[in-house]
């Protein structure tokens, strides 16, 4: 009889505890890339909706929002465009490269290359669009000090998810200002 009472007490306690406990929800492991380049995950406390993205900085919005002005030089192709840099420009450090594009997982690669097209500086940059697969803005700044490289290229491309090759390459021949530091 004592075992039955203990068992009954255990069952009632378990029911009370499980009824009071908050239900755990498992969300899929996804990330959303925000307009500022940061990523947010799904929130189990909010029915697995994505957490809110931080606000865009005023400085960034001013730099990339209105490129409809005909005086802004645009170099590129259907998928990637670079603003304000054209063939033969002299590039000084630091150089800011901004443009717009569309790419798989909203990621582009930006490189400063030598005349043999070898990367001297290589960085990944996130496209700032509301959703993957939509055209959005990108902005990146490079510091460089090339002592022996006076000419080369700015290259922006998407890396193929299939084989790692360069896709939608935009390559602009430029001159690098040599710093005597």
Q: Residues 19-32: pLDDT tens digits?
A: 555 566 777 776 66
- CATH 2.60.40.10 in the chain is located at 57-176
Mean pLDDT of the chain, nearest integer: 78
Helix, strand, or coil here: 161? Answer: coil
Using CA atoms, how far apart are residues 59 and 56, in angstroms rounded to an integer? 8
Q: Given CATH 3.40.640.10, say whether it is the number of domain 57-176.
A: no
pLDDT of residue 14: 66
Cis status, amide bond into 94, omega within 30 of 0: yes
pLDDT of residue 3: 74
pLDDT at 39 over 80: no
Q: Each residue of 153-177: pLDDT tens digit?
A: 999 999 988 898 999 999 999 999 8
Confidence of residue 148 (pLDDT cuts 50, 70, 90): confident
State pTM to two decimals: 0.61
Tell me the torsion sign for CA atoms 66, 68, 70, 75.
Answer: positive
Higher per-residue confidence, 24 vs 141:
141
pLDDT of residue 22: 56
Q: Each residue of 63-119: pLDDT tens digit?
A: 444 444 444 567 888 889 999 898 999 999 999 999 999 888 889 999 999 999 999
Q: Are 106 and 129 in contact (CB under 8 A)?
A: yes
pLDDT of residue 103: 86
pLDDT of residue 123: 94
pLDDT of residue 180: 61
* Residue 114, C-beta contacts closer than 8 angstroms, at least 6 positions apart: 120, 149, 151, 152, 153
Q: Are 33 and 51 in contact (CB under 8 A)?
A: no
pLDDT of residue 104: 82
Q: Are 102 and 133 in contact (CB under 8 A)?
A: yes
pLDDT of residue 96: 92
Look-up of token digits 């670079």: 82
């Amino acid at each position: 009889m004592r075992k039955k009472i203990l068992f009954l007490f255990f069952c009632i306690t378990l029911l009370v505890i499980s009824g009071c406990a908050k239900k755990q929800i498992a969300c899929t492991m996804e990330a959303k890339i925000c307009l500022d380049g940061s990523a947010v995950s799904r929130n189990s406390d909010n029915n697995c909706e994505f957490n809110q993205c931080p606000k865009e900085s005023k400085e960034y919005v001013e730099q990339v929002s209105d490129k409809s002005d005909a005086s802004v030089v645009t170099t590129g192709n259907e998928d990637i465009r670079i603003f304000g840099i054209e063939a033969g420009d002299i590039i000084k450090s630091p150089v800011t490269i901004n443009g717009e594009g569309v790419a798989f997982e909203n990621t582009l690669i930006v490189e400063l290359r030598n005349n043999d097209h070898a990367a001297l500086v290589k960085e990944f940059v996130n496209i700032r669009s509301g959703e993957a697969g939509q055209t959005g803005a990108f902005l990146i700044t490079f510091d460089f000090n090339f002592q022996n490289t006076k000419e080369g290229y700015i290259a922006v491309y998407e890396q193929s998810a299939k084989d790692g090759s360069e896709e939608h390459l935009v390559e602009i021949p430029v001159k690098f200002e040599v710093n005597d530091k």
